[in-house]
Chains A and B, each alone.
Chain A
Amino acid sequence: MNKYEFKPKSKIRELLGEKIIAISAFTAIVVILLIFIFIFKEAMPIFTNAKVQNEASLSKLFLKQQYYAGHEPKWSWQPNSDVPKYSLIPLFIGTLKAALIAMLFAIPLGVGAAIYTAEFASKRVREIIKPTIELLAGIPSVVLGFFALIVLATALQKLFNFTYRLNAINAGIALGIAVIPIIFTLAEDAMTAVPKSLREAAMALGANPWQVSFTLVLPAALPGIAAGIVLGFGRAIGETMIVLMASGNAAITSASFTDSIRTLSATIAAELAEVVFGSPHYNVLFFVGALLFVFTFIINLGGELILTRLKIRLQGKTTK
């Protein structure tokens, strides 16, 4: 039989094959829905179960509480104390602190390197930069966490005399290393996608290469850079192992970036294994997971929206 000879096969088999492929294609959507359902299912008792609400109602999770008579009301996360305290505010603050440092670290490096790569780098230099970024993206986050815990924390403490060895700055920088590839990739893609005709027009009008880059390409590619920053922020909020290892994991409500922090994601990772199945603590941790899911979902949708707009904008203006 010839390699390229096909026997007519049964219609049933054809139909079955197509159905299996079509059903598989919906896996991603089904999984998103299942994640939504099963995480909210375990978080629900916070809204419905009076016994759970006694310890962890919405107001207890978000508002200042007076835990002991005569003490100032405050936000506190101490699930294992004799009076369990489930305020999420210290965790929010910790998460935002780490993410803020990560973005301050990653945006200049990611965007700067992207501009250089897309606009100025020779082909050979580009062939060094791009695999470097891909390898950086390939480093497992537990390795970055390890690096921040063992090496970076010691170096930073020696340099700046931090009171706490593990703090928001240390965790944030390690987190930033994980975010750089996301920002770089999207920003570089956006700038490379700016039509050549636009550049040539500007050059014809007398602009020199860096004027073309900064007054034309950069503004045109801005949505792509914005999307990279938004999606990078999503990653910074959700990343777990780095902050679990490098942040000190103390739920402190303060404005100082040199204090230890405890993030939403690290709280789940550190506490879920030891929690009693179905206890208020268990429900609260799933609620934290639900919040993370919703936050990142909105952030990703926003990023997607910006990217779609960019595509229309760049394609709409060119006559390829």
Chain B
Amino acid sequence: MQTLKLNDTTDTAFSFKPKSKGIIPKGLMLLAVIIIIVILAVIVAIVFYNGIGVISWKFVTHAPEQGMTAGGIFPAIFGTVALVILMVIFGVPIGVMTAIYLQEYTRPDSKITQLIRIGINNLAGVPSIVFGLFGLGFFIGFIGAGIDKAFYPPGRPVWGQPALIWAALTMALLTLPVVIVATEEALRTIPRELKEASYALGATKLQTIRRIILPQAMPGILTGTILAISRGAGDVAPIMFTGVAYYLSYLPHKLSDQFMQLGYHVYVMATQSPDVEKTKPILYGTVLVLLVLTFLLNIVAIFIRSKIRNKRVGQ
């Protein structure tokens, strides 16, 4: 960057008096950075220090014992994995198709695009507890109860109660904006020449999307999926009323079963434990597992995304 340094400016609105170098404000800004880094470091350090002791093979492969004061967290890990797999199956295709529609089918300044974008941005801002209420009112109270009414004899509800499928659907809607934003970012990096070459070879739009655009956008779709999984593994409010269970003696094996989840397990042990002190080591261990899981997912996502961004800069 070439700049001219003139200190003898005339006194206009755009003149600047030579001043001190601004060490104090700069120092304060740096202090803010340092405080943020320290906050993260302290949280991570405390969780590691207190949690690492209980981590063992048994801890991640066994069920809780003795009122959650001993044993492991396997059912919570299993439930979390089941939840995020279903969430990805329900949510990612819709998110990817939305991104494709916005990038490939409409012009960025059209009314429809703007409307959809407002919808996505607002969906991203809806509090997760409101998603929980919605899952209860819509999926369980309306869809689930409706299925029960139509296909099952009256009596015990089958689908009209909290279940894995409803929690996964609620979580899929919650994470939809994450998938859309990440996919769109990747779609923007695909060179126009590539698409034009595909059309020139006689491919239709759908063929171009399937064979050219989707493979090229894969890193972005992956980033969005990973970030959604990271959210789904730890977010509690949306699943509180839609499917998660305090404790289950069996693993969920069908869509209408309830399940345990790592985030909710942390909440339960931290707030409802009959003996907090005895639960604490296991509690720290569970937080450690959850934290390591989300950090690993986020680091992978950050890595892939920086590759996409570099590609874009390279063009």
Contacts and interface: CB of A to CB of B under 8 A. Distances in A.
A208 B4 CA distance: 11
Contacts of A231: 125
Interface in B266-315: 266-267, 270-271, 280, 283, 287, 290-291, 294-295, 297-299, 302
A136 B201 contact: no
B229 to A, nearest CB: 11
Nearest to B237: A240
Contacts of A120: 26, 29-30
A96 to B, nearest CB: 15
Nearest to A146: B270
B43 A147 contact: yes
Contact of B207 (A6, A134, A140): A6
A26 B283 contact: no
A304 B118 contact: yes
B130 A238 contact: yes
Interface string B186-212: 000000000000100111111101010
Interface residues of A, number: 104
Contacts of A214: 22, 25
Interface string B3-21: 1111111000011101101
Contact of A211 (B22, B30, B267, B302): B22
B129 A240 contact: yes
B101 A24 contact: yes
A41 B102 CA distance: 32
Interface stretch (A55-63, A86-94, A105-113): A105-113
A180 B297 CA distance: 20
B129 A292 contact: yes
Chain B interface size, under 10 / 10 to 19 / 20 to 34 / 35 or more: 35 or more
Interface in B51-66: none
Given A21-B97, A293-B126, A206 B133 contact: no
Contacts of A207: 16
A14 B203 CA distance: 11
A39 B121 CA distance: 19
A274 to B, nearest CB: 11
Contacts of B159: none
B94 to A, nearest CB: 5
B18 A208 contact: yes
A163 B98 CA distance: 52
24 contacts: A6-B201, A8-B202, A21-B100, A24-B97, A112-B33, A113-B29, A131-B302, A139-B291, A142-B263, A180-B36, A200-B3, A204-B4, A204-B6, A211-B16, A244-B267, A244-B271, A269-B129, A272-B133, A286-B137, A289-B133, A293-B127, A296-B127, A297-B126, A301-B118
